[in-house]
Amino acid sequence: MSQPENAARDKGRQRLTRGRDAGRSRIDVSYLLRGTRKNVVGLLGALIALYIVFGIKAPNFLTVSNQLSIALNTSFLAIPAWAMTLVIGCAEIDMSTGPAVAFAGVFLGLLVTNYGIPLLFGIIIVLAVGTLLGAAIGWARAYLNVPTFVGSLALYLGLRSLAELFSNAIPISISSSFLGNVGTGSVLGFPNPAWIAIVLFFVFLVVARKTPFGRSLLAIGGNPDSARVAGVPVGRRKIAVMAISGAAAALTGIILAGQLASGNSEVEQVLTFQVIAAVIIGGTALFGGRASMLGTLIGVVFIETITDGLILLGVNTYADGFVTGLLIFAAVTIGTGELRLRRKARGGRGRRVRQGRPAVASPASDAFAGPESSAIAGGLARVIPESGSQEGRV
């Protein structure tokens, strides 16, 4: 356990001790920051640096309208990324996201425009199909032992082809004021898709941290054999998490169709890779067991900010991917380099940690003193650390 993380947890404990009610309320802002990992702080630093550079170099970068445009663009990356954080935390992966988004839009267009199905039913059908496709990959993983990488890669190719086949690669227009409003409207000046992404962020945050479902996903990602012996329904969890990913992609496709007023087979083909990149630079372990929703949030903003800033700087659009790739590589390299340094320093730190332990050696007995005791508050702060912890996957 590293010193900074201890410090972060201790801060969380102090916060809890001071404001006791904060520990009880359902939506507890303090635990957004508690146990915040160093790499999240590092990524936040990188994001701030980006803002400073773009703010100085690109004249329109810091304008409200540009910031709202970043928020809008980020949401299409963010919604699948929330789900992907759970998927990767569970040591699986979903490659099908990009084509699934395109397919959802085209399929909705097909249903609503070509077959005249009412919009609401169309949306329900698209969401259901997306969920089922994800669940099918999860099922193949759980019961046929087909790696999700393979299953979802097959789906990637299949859905890309189907989207083009259904639309002949021509956008199918969808005329609906409701859907248009969802995609392009705003509430309190903030774009609707961004609202949806933010609401979903909190839903996923609670799912990841506060539900047995979310905790067992990380347990499966960290040690599937232990999870099986401990009675975690490993197969069902995998199906569920892949279904969630499929549903998130379908929802993104529907909202995007609203924004474009059409279902387009050519959109968001590289989304898969951006989503995975955002999740990984956010500090979720590629091989599971550790996941950070907050890290993913900063990750998606980071990626969209680069794209946006480069456009404003007038960088050739074709160079955009190159620069983004370079920056993502740098961000992850810095993260892992940091990890290596921490590992080197582990010996000395271990001793320090143990010295610091006597204070918490008997929180168990203190806990009976009453829920108001600071020991239990400390315990509370420690019990559910920021999704997983130091060692990550073992």
Contacting residues toward another protein, per CB under 8 A: 1, 9, 23-24, 26, 206, 209-212, 215-216, 218-219, 222-223, 225-233, 289-290, 353, 357, 360-361, 363-365, 367-368, 371, 376, 378-385, 388-394
Q: How far is the CB of 180 from another protein (least distance, A)?
A: 36
Distance, in Å, from the CA atom of 369 to the CA atom of 371, rounded to the nearest integer, reads: 7
Q: Which amino acid is at 228?
A: R
Q: How far is the CB of 11 from another protein (least distance, A)?
A: 14
240 exposed, middle or buried (CB, 10 Å; 0-12, 13-18, 19+)? buried
Q: Using an 8 Å Cβ cutoff, are 393 and 287 in contact?
A: yes
Helix (H, G, I), strand (E, B) or coil at 130: helix
Q: Closest CB to another protein among 108 and 227? A: 227
Q: Which amino acid is at 157?
A: L
Q: Closest CB to another protein among 128 and 372? A: 372
Q: Using an 8 Å Cβ cutoff, are 254 and 105 in contact?
A: yes
Q: How far is the CB of 353 from another protein (least distance, A)?
A: 8
Q: How far is the CB of 216 from another protein (least distance, A)?
A: 7
Q: How far is the CB of 136 from another protein (least distance, A)?
A: 22
Q: Closest CB to another protein among 116 and 231? A: 231
Helix (H, G, I), strand (E, B) or coil at 92: coil
Helix %, strand %, coil % for the chain, to 5?
A: 75, 0, 25
Q: Closest CB to another protein among 192 and 216? A: 216
Q: Closest CB to another protein among 32 and 312? A: 32
Q: How far is the CB of 230 from another protein (least distance, A)?
A: 5
Q: How far is the CB of 293 from another protein (least distance, A)?
A: 15
Q: Closest CB to another protein among 269 and 373? A: 373
Write 37-40 long-range contacts (CB < 8 A, 24+).
37/5, 37/283, 37/292, 37/295, 37/386, 38/2, 38/4, 38/5, 38/338, 39/283, 39/295, 39/335, 39/338, 40/282, 40/283, 40/292, 40/294, 40/295, 40/298
- Angle CA 122–126–128, to nearest 5: 115
Q: Closest CB to another protein among 321 and 379? A: 379
